[in-house]
Every structure is written in C-alpha cells, then in structure tokens.
Amino acid sequence: MDWKEVGVSIAAMAPALGVALGGPAGGAVGSLVAAAFGAKARPADVAAVIAGDPDAAVKLREIELRHAEVIASLAAQQYEAQLLDVQQARTAHQSHWMPGFLTLMLAGMVASLGAALLTMEMPAENQEVLYLIAGQLLGAFATAIAYWLGSSRGSAEKQRALESRS
C-alpha cells in the first residue's frame, strides 16, 4: 500500500487531503495525518487506524480545514507539474512525423474494418469481441482526428508561431 491508495480511500471524507496524499508531497501529508491519528507514518498503518476509527471523517476534515492553505498549495503544485509535463511533451513532439503516421494508420484500420463489416459475415459468438475492437479503434481514431482539428493541434501551431517570432 502507498500514500496514493490511502488518498483514494479517504477522498470521500476529505477530498483535498486525498488529492494531496496522492501527489508528490504525499509522504509529508501522510506524516501529518499519521500524527493526528497517533499512528506510524506508514501508509498501511495510517489506513488501518483510519478504518478502525469511527470519528475518522471528522478528524480528517479537521486536518483538511486546519491546513487548507498548505494543501491547496500542494494541489496547485501538483497540477502545475502535470501541465508542465504535457507542455514539454507537446514541445518535444510538435514537429514529429509520428502523429501523422498514426492518424493515417488508424484511418486505414477504420476503412478496413468498415470494408470487412460490409463484405464478410461475422459469427454471432464473435460479435461482442468485434464491438469491443471496433469501439477501441474508433475511439483512438476520434482522438487522432481531435488532435489535428482540436485544441492540441492548435496549441502546437500557436507555440510554433510564438517561437518563430522570438
């Protein structure tokens, strides 16, 4: 068990505390929770104490309210780190050939699936598998199209335009 699992288990009682436990500062927040419950600062110990305490929800909300500013700051830092990670990934792959190639491959797969459905007969016992595969394929194709037509592609183009001005 780790702090993220403890965070998931207490998120219903103290949402901000649960998010903070799942983030990079989970150990520090976990120590805070452990101290409030008189437990060792180990995820399994804290989870066991919380599960056995009928007043756990009240205590967790008190911790959350008492340390709201710090918890909010930790959540904001976690969100900023995720955004930075996404931005770095976009920057690294914005001019790469792979997104276009994958989109063309997915288009070919969707076309092949459509042709197969129109020309071949599918046994009844395999229809659920076909629905599963078709759903996954169409979902991936929709994501690829959204990249080219949606905000991800627009963000990449804006970033390229900004860099060319500098």
Per-residue pLDDT tens digits for 79-118: 888 888 877 877 777 778 888 899 999 999 999 999 999 9
> Taking a C-beta distance cutoff of 8 angstroms, is the pair 31, 43 a contact?
no
pTM of the prediction?
A: 0.48
Q: Which residues contact 99 (CB under 8 A, 6 or more apart)?
A: 93, 144, 147, 148
In this prediction, residue 150 carries a pLDDT of 65
Mean pLDDT of all residues belonging to the chain:
86
**CB-hemisphere CA count at 13 Å for 132?**
4
